[in-house]
Structure 1
Amino acid sequence: MKSVFILSLRRMAKTPLGFEPVEGSLTSSSKKREYRVTNRLQEGKRPLYAIVFNFIDPRYYNVFATVGGHRVTVYQCLEGGVIDGLQSYADEDKDESFYTLSWACNIDGAPFLVAGGISGIIRVIDTGSEKIYKNLVGHGDSVNEIRTQALKPSLVISASKDESVRLWNVHTGICILIFGGAGGHRNEVLSVDFHPSDIYRIASCGMDNTVKIWSMKEFWTYVEKSFTWTDLPSKFPTKYVQFPMVIASVHSNYVDCNRWLGDFILSKSVDNAIVLWEPKTKEQIPGEGAVDILQKYPVPECDIWFIKFSCDFHYNATAIGNREGKIYVWELQSSPPMLLARLSHMQCRSPIRQTAMSFDGSTILSCCEDGTIWRWDATAAP
């Protein structure tokens, strides 16, 4: 299939755009981190749905990308609040709307960006050669989230409106596994995540109000086969995984973001909180849906769906925006929960669709419904 992308490489202003840094509103906790706004960019008029730092390659930890409308844009965070625009990719189909992206890499280490949205076609962009590397075709409807397996960053997983989750090899373009069917989701799948240390496990959630934990252990030979497959991707023996290990009913409404925290899971719905819980397998506790709720991280005015939280590399903290343009930063390694900061600015009033925390959490980015990107940087300790 021919690429429907046009690539434009452009350099943007390296100044903070004359934006005056302003202190955010902060909590009074003893361990709080103080942040201040150091930059704001107006990327366009269309909503920005995703913003992601590159944690796959240590050479590019300060590089991030955004998606909105038919564009994928790559930036670099520099000292002093500077944001340097590096690359911008525009789809020829102006009706395309990207909802998600994830950093990945080829087997030779070349950095990839993997983006998907309303068309259901996933684009694999080689940011080194500045070309489309693959088009991943298979989903029957829009793609809501893409995540990368950190232990094998040529593997990505996608969550779709077509009620399925798909595992892909971006090197060969193969769809290896499809998670769906008899025990699958019964509405749009909104979020998905790989377990950080168990390479076989994933968690997915969606509009059927459930979180499902899946295992690909018995299908792992197909994952290995996908790296050496030389025939057409369409001829690969893609397998269906129809039954999850766990079906958890933690929320009573749409579940639009889930992330593993060790063997625990962080998930959120439209209930103004992120919930930390422990899944129980049928062997541990008989019956589906058995979970232990460990604690909650309140997020006021976060009662609209498709708002996603992010964590720093070591999962010490999480940052989440709300519909009023505020950001709440919670410490994850404390009990009871500790609010590290509440960030707000009088000019940021639009819903924040996603945040991105830097490697050490010292920089927090947010992308908004009004097409803006905000940068907050931690101030030095006195």
Structure 2
Amino acid sequence: MPRRWNNWCTAVLHRRRYQKDESFYTVSWACNIDGTPFLVAGGLNGIIRVIDTGSEKIYKSFVGHGDSINEIKTQPLKPSLVLSASKDESVRLWNIHTGICILIFAGSGGHRNEVLSVDFHPSDIYRIASCGMDNTVKIWSMKEFWTYVEKSFTWTDLPSKFPTKYVQFPVFIASVHTNYVDCNRWIGDFILSKSVDSELVLWEPRMKEQSPGEGTVDILQKYPVPECDIWFIKFSYDFHLKTVAVGNREGKIYVWEVQSNPPILIAKLTHAESKSTIRLTAMSYDGSTILSCCDDGTIWRWDVVASS
């Protein structure tokens, strides 16, 4: 049966007061090793807040980044591990159970400007991908540092005394875009990324095992998104990697079927009152619900409804 989308509600985003200068840019669900759900948030002041959703209190605060935090992502296989991407040109791996900064991805081969997005590989627990204002996407491996990840779970001394390690060299560097790369996500072993050129690009990194950092890129498909020519617009997809949703600067959402060739535009979601830039979308597990966060402080919800 064909699908159509229904605008279910519009809600105003409320701001919880922590500090006067605390503006959040990113949030991610995570959980403690005992299953306690946490909300991990970061933004303008560079401090990561781990919030216990049950008690509605701050469980831990992570200080380490030298500037604002642009994105936080949770490891799907170990949800007590989170990555943070920062304006300070680094990515950091944190253990929210012990409060330890385990690894810092920066240095000689690191990003040369703000890191805008980061993502864990869905099945390879050692690999991550990051992108930023230096127009590159970098793939990193934690394999040789994994003993430090394991040590972080049993550490009993002060978090500041943990032997945090620098990962200075990525295993692959891709120049798929010619401008800021503000969002990248793994699609299996492929990567979907976007810049300011009004399109998403699906590509495959072909790494040279003998020459870390080198390789070639195969462009697989492109998904046009009109009026999406400004930076800091994030896309999302469902759990099964079938559909992707991305907003634009005119308040519209484009929903593409990722796995079809050529790509199929499933829907263009519009509303007369949605005219502000959509900075972020979030798609439900099965792709039947999409939330969007807008510059005017509103959150929109769209639901799939059956039609004859």
CA contact under 8 A between 2:2 and 2:306: conserved in structure 1?
Answer: no
Contact kept in structure 1, 2:171 and 2:212, CA below 8 Å: no
Deviation at 1:220, TM superposition (A): 0.2
- Give the 5 Å matches for 1:168-183: 168-183=94-109
2:285 is paired with a residue of what secondary structure?
Answer: coil
CA distance in 2, matches of 1:126, 1:134: 9
Quote the offset at 1:347 in angstroms: 0.7
Structure-2 residue corresponding to 1:90:
17
1:34 alignment partner in structure 2: 4
> Structure 1 stretches of 5 or more lacking a match?
1-30, 45-70, 72-88
Aligned residues: 308
Residue in 2 that maps onto 1:211? 137
154, 171, 174: which one aligns with 1:228? 154
CA shift for structure 1 position 42:
2.2
1:119 aligned to 2:45? Answer: yes
1:154-303 equivalence runs, <5 A? 154-283=80-209, 288=214, 290-303=216-229
Q: Structure 2 CA distance, aligned partners of 1:145 and 1:122?
A: 11
1:371/1:289 CA distance change after superposition, 3 Å: farther
Give the Cα separation in 1 of the matches to 2:211 and 2:109.
19
- Matched residue SS, 1:90: coil
Q: Are the counterparts in 2 of residues 167 and 177 from structure 1 also a CA contact under 8 Å?
A: yes
TM-score normalised by the chain length of structure 2: 0.97
CA distance in 2, matches of 1:226, 1:317: 36
CA contact (8 A) 2:208 2:215 kept: no
The match for 1:309 among 235, 243, 247 is 235
CA–CA distance in 2 between the matches of 1:238 and 1:181?
Answer: 14
> RMSD of the TM alignment (CA)?
1.4
Matched, 1:369 2:299: no
| One-letter amino acid of the counterpart of residue 168, structure 2 | Q
Fraction of identical pairs, as percent: 79
AA at the equivalent of 2:17: A
Q: 3-state DSSP class of the match of 2:306?
A: coil
Q: CA offset at residue 285 of structure 1?
A: 8.8
Classify 1:243/1:137 alpha carbon distance in 2 versus 1 (closer, same or farther; 3 Å): same
Return the offset for 1:288: 2.9
Per the alignment, in what secondary structure is the counterpart of residue 147 of structure 2?
Answer: helix
Q: Alpha-carbon deviation of 1:270? A: 0.2
Secondary structure of the corresponding residue to residue 219 of structure 1: helix
Deviation at 1:284, TM superposition (A): 8.3
Q: Which protein, 1 or 2, shows the higher relative CO under an 8 Å CA cutoff with sep ≥ 6?
A: 1
Deviations 1:304-354 (A, max 9, x none): 100000111111101000000000000111111110000101110000000
Preserved CA contact (<8 Å) 1:157 1:165: yes
CA contact (8 A) 2:170 2:213 kept: no
Long gaps (5+) in structure 2: none
